[in-house]
Copies of this chain bind each other. A is one copy, B any other.
Amino acid sequence: MAQGPTITTIAARAGVSIASVSRVLNGLPTREDTIRKVMAAADELGYVPNAAARSLKSNRTYQVAFAMADIGNPTYVAMVREIQPVLKAAGYRLVLHSTDGDVDDELDVLRRLGERYADGLIISPLRGFAQQHLDLLAGAPAPVVVIGSVPQDTPVDNVRTDSRTGVRLALEHLYGLGRRSIGFLNGPLDTIPGAARAAAYTDALAALGLPYDPDLVEVGDFYRAAGARAAHRLLERSRPDALLCANDLIALGALDALREERLRVPEDVALVGMDDTELATAAWPTLTSVSLGSAERGRRAAELLLDRLEDGAAAPRIVTVEPTLVVRASTEGAS
């Protein structure tokens, strides 16, 4: 934990000025033997540049922040997993924020960007986009990329998916299998995905000519235990032949509940999750799931941010990742 050498130390040992040291270390044109002297001194002293001083002067931290609701959720893990290597390859560190889906926390992350501890931010808000969010986004002191849909004219890079299409794919698949009583286990309606999926479910039903039956819909939370409870509540008052779950965790909970109720999957109830996380293939029967391309969304977001850091003036871009349906045993029968 010794006090490290600074360019001043190196300059003294090499017998040159700190300016020369800095030039050598940054590869600016310098005479050959000065380079050698400085390099030798730096090596001997084990010099490592000080990040704080460098960013103070250059206004670059080479850090990027990623804010999401919960690192325990495999969707976000998939994103982080893709974001990290992209940033690393470009020489950036990753700062991780878990907001627990708390709006104040999210706003706080946005505000503290002003501390300039990071050059940019990727945020995947769970709740939110009150006017307050939008104001902060518009006036953000550093580039921000939002994963999730942002209102039309918000001047921000944006990676979105089309959960409407995703839900439709799932319902069409179930309809095609002859299921007509398709229940829906959703997450909280005050979350962005919760609200979007609720609307999409209603629309997709209508498109298929199926009636909307409130008894077939339950709202819980995006966790496994909550999914199980929601499934039990739903099964108490109706008997669907299929269940769409707003994410894979809920689907796992539903699987637990169905097992307890001695209902077979998929024979009695076909089950579809969303997000297509690794849990979908760990479960048994393996879960049919709507892939919303979390990994790809993460990667694209990181790329957008890096582009933006290169060229701050370019017009905001919107990238849309198409959902796909990954069919597995929980709807199509035995493995």
Which residues of A are interface residues toward B (Cβ below 8 A)?
Answer: 1-2, 4, 46, 48-53, 55-56, 61, 63, 71-72, 77, 80-81, 84-85, 88, 93-98, 111-112, 114-117, 139-143, 252, 259, 278-279, 282-285, 312, 335
Contact = CB atoms under 8 A, between A and B. Distances in A.
Given A56-B50, A282-B282, A98 B84 contact: yes
Contacts of A97: 93-94
Contacts of A312: 1
A50 B116 contact: yes
A48 B115 contact: yes
A48 B335 contact: no
Contacts of A335: 259
Given A96-B80, A335-B259, A117 B51 contact: yes
Nearest to A279: B282
Contact of A98 (B55, B85, B283, B284): B85
A80 B93 CA distance: 16
A112 B48 contact: yes
Given A51-B117, A115-B49, A141 B84 contact: no
Contacts of A142: 1
A98 B85 CA distance: 8
A71 B84 contact: yes
A279 B50 CA distance: 42
A72 B74 CA distance: 9
6 contacts: A46-B114, A48-B111, A48-B141, A71-B80, A84-B98, A85-B98
Contacts of A115: 48-51
B84 A96 contact: yes
Contacts of A63: 95, 117
B61 A72 contact: no
Contacts of A117: 51-52, 63, 93
A205 to B, nearest CB: 29
